Amino acid sequence: MIRRGKTDRQHRSRHWIVRQIVCALVLVLVTTFALSLPYQSQYDLVVGDVAPQDIRAPRKASFVSDILSERALAEAIRNIPPVYTRSDPEIARLQRARSRQILDFINAIRADPYATTAQKQAWILAVAEMRALSMTVVNTILTLPEANWNQVQLEVMQLLDELLRQEDLREDSLPALRERLPSLVPMDYAQDEAAVVAGLVSGLLVPNSFYDEAATEAARQQAAEATAPVFQNFQAGEIIVREGSLITDLHLETLDELGLAREQRDWREWTVVFSAALLGTLLLGVYLLRMQPAVLDHARQEYLLLLLLALFAALARLLIPDSTLLPYLFPGAAMGMLIATTIGYPAAVGSAVFLGLLSGWMAGFSLSITVLVMLSCLVAILSLPNNEDTTAIFRSGILSGLISAVMVLALSPADDPFQSLSFLLEIAVSLTGGIISGGLTLGALFILAPLFDLTTTFRLLEMSRPNHPLLQRLLREAPATFHHTMMVASMAEQAAERIGANTLLTRVGAYYHDVGKLTRPYFFVENQEGLSNPHDRLDPHTSVEIVIGHVRDGLKLASEYGLPADIRAFIPEHQGTMRVSFFYQKALKLVDNEAGLLDEAQFRYPGPRPQSRETALVMLADGCEATARARRPKNGEEIEAAVQYIFDQRIQDGQLDACPLTLAEL
């Protein structure tokens, strides 16, 4: 059982990641283009341009220069040297003890009468601190007379102790100190003995003073806090940049502060717009991951969402900027209703907020347009019933238009008689925009549904009608299966309602989950009332092939009758990869219960296991109905036992491992 927070999203395939990156990049680029409106500027300059003329300050001005302040701050921080800890005496004690251990070890090696010279050399070099010793030094250690060796040991201990106690040894200072070691050995030692002392001490030297990051950062922070902001001061008429000079970032900052430059299609505007588009896209993606992650798992839905966002962003770009009435005609509510009916309410709400912010930016950061578009979308989305029809779409569109009209009155009150006519026009256009949104939604649904193989509410309602050709065939040719289907649909629908799954999808999917039995209806037990069982005349291998084959036959019929993918998924997933136990046990008896002689995979459905809560509910309801029909329970306790048996069996067989059903929901 997969629990929330530990889903397959933790193990995304490379294809999934590439798709997310591509879709996000497309949305960012579309949004950047839609937001990049031209602005006029007095001086359209970028870093590296040549000043076309002397540019003077139009007035006296004083402002904090972010660039100069940052430079001063960086210089103050750079002047703070690294802070190190005081030398640690404990390290000296530890290294002295370690040196005594190593010297004792060498003494033992020197005294070993049985080891060869090569073995003794290898043993010494195996010590971590001695690995850098040359073979000459190692041989000297092994061949020194005992009296000389004792003097060497004393000198090693004494020199090491002096160095560790008297100096702050840091990691970066050790190489230079090791190079000086031969000169620190007293001159009364022979050259080879001095080399031994220097080599042993070199391996035992370790830092006793360390870089203190916290203290260094504190000192730098203190220096940063003590650094005052740097002001730029100009008198009226003072030259900011002379003709022919190269424009620097400092010049541009001054031009911006004095109102002599505008963010017009330069790299800064593109950076700001691109960053805003990227941030909006990322926030929308995070929102979808939290609220409706299935959208990002289904390529069709994700591409549709991207298409709708791009189309309505382009439409907003055409209608909203530099216009008085057209923004109120913008049918943004249509996007919300389209996404709500084809993908889901959470995705629609997130997209409505995204489109509202986008529209407000296009209108010159207009709060009224932002609220107008966002609110009209949200009202249209939230007013849609679960089982919306044509009239429901129109009602939601008209309601969004009414809300837009109210917002026009609330946000733009008329202050004089000459404005009354414009307000009346805005109200009328807002109402018209709501009606257009409803019509556009209906038209787009009929176009997009076949293109994206969408399971819209309209298609589900159409397929739920008893006069659907495939249901009519099921009723006529396999009436018992039809009855079984209705029972399963009723149970699964109620369960879906309890856990907040899609009730309509669950019910309609249950209607068609067993249509494959139409190929051989009398090979299934519910259709054998009063008839002989044809499986009695067949071997279990043939029987199981026929039974399992109803999944393949069902998928074929579903394609012939044009059932959408979400409904087709119920056909294989309601059986998952379960074993047909009856025929498996029957086959076992034929081989004297030798399971090794049977290929169990031949007795299992091909799968896949349920991938959604809705298909999992139909699997459970299907098993419960069949078990209850076989056991004929006489009271509530027996019914509960039958249900618990099915639940336990499906869980233990791993049939629910691929779907997001939780134990709490079960």
CATH of the domain at 631: 1.10.3210
Residue-level pLDDT at 6: 47
Cα 415 vs. chain centroid, distance in angstroms?
Answer: 50
Measured CA to CA, the distance from residue 422 to residue 325 in angstroms comes to 9
Rounded mean pLDDT of 343-354? 93
Rounded mean pLDDT of 372-389? 82
Mark whether 196 and 304 lie in a shared domain.
no
Residue 238 lies in a domain: no
Residues paired with 61 in a beta bridge: 234
When pLDDT is cut at 50, 70 and 90, the band that residue 266 belongs to is low
Mark whether 277 and 426 lie in a shared domain.
yes
Measured CA to CA, the distance from residue 548 to residue 550 in angstroms comes to 5
When pLDDT is cut at 50, 70 and 90, the band that residue 395 belongs to is confident
Measured CA to CA, the distance from residue 275 to residue 270 in angstroms comes to 8
Residue 339 lies in a domain: yes
User: Cis (ω within 30 of 0) for the bond into 610?
Assistant: no
For residue 8, pLDDT over 60 is answered with: no
Residue 17 lies in a domain: no
Rounded mean pLDDT of 43-60? 76
Tell me the CA end-to-end span of the chain in Å, nearest whole number: 10
Mark whether 450 and 480 lie in a shared domain.
no
DSSP 528-572: -TTS--GGGGS-HHHHHHHHHHHHHHHHHHHHHTT--HHHHTHHH
Mark whether 421 and 466 lie in a shared domain.
no
Domain boundary among 435, 454, 473: 454
When pLDDT is cut at 50, 70 and 90, the band that residue 39 belongs to is very low
Residue-level pLDDT at 271: 84
Domain boundary among 176, 204, 232: 204
Domain that holds residue 364: 268-454
Mark whether 293 and 147 lie in a shared domain.
no
Residue 133 lies in a domain: yes
Residue 60 lies in a domain: no
Residue 304 lies in a domain: yes
Rounded mean pLDDT of 264-282? 80
Mark whether 502 and 576 lie in a shared domain.
yes
Rounded mean pLDDT of 383-390? 67
Mark whether 359 and 484 lie in a shared domain.
no
- Of all residues in the chain, the percent with pLDDT exceeding 90 is 29
On the 0-12 / 13-18 / 19+ scale of CB atoms within 10 A, 3 is: exposed
pLDDT tens-digit map of 513-538? 999 999 998 888 888 777 788 887 88
Mark whether 414 and 379 lie in a shared domain.
yes
Mark whether 297 and 442 lie in a shared domain.
yes
Domain boundary among 204, 228, 243: 204
124: nearest Cα among 148, 145, 108, 146: 108
Angle at 289 between CA 287 and CA 294, to 5 degrees: 125
When pLDDT is cut at 50, 70 and 90, the band that residue 571 belongs to is very high
Measured CA to CA, the distance from residue 353 to residue 283 in angstroms comes to 11
Residue 262 lies in a domain: no
Mark whether 400 and 471 lie in a shared domain.
no
For residue 588, pLDDT over 50 is answered with: yes
How many domains are there within the chain?
A: 3
pLDDT tens-digit map of 79-112? 888 877 777 777 778 888 888 988 888 889 888 8
Mark whether 289 and 437 lie in a shared domain.
yes
Can you say whether the dihedral through the CA atoms of 9, 14, 20, 24 is positive or negative?
positive
Residue 247 lies in a domain: no
Extract the runs of DSSP E, i.e. beta strands, from 40-177. 55-56, 61-64
Mark whether 346 and 466 lie in a shared domain.
no
Query: CATH number of the domain that 317 lies in?
Result: 1.10.1760.20
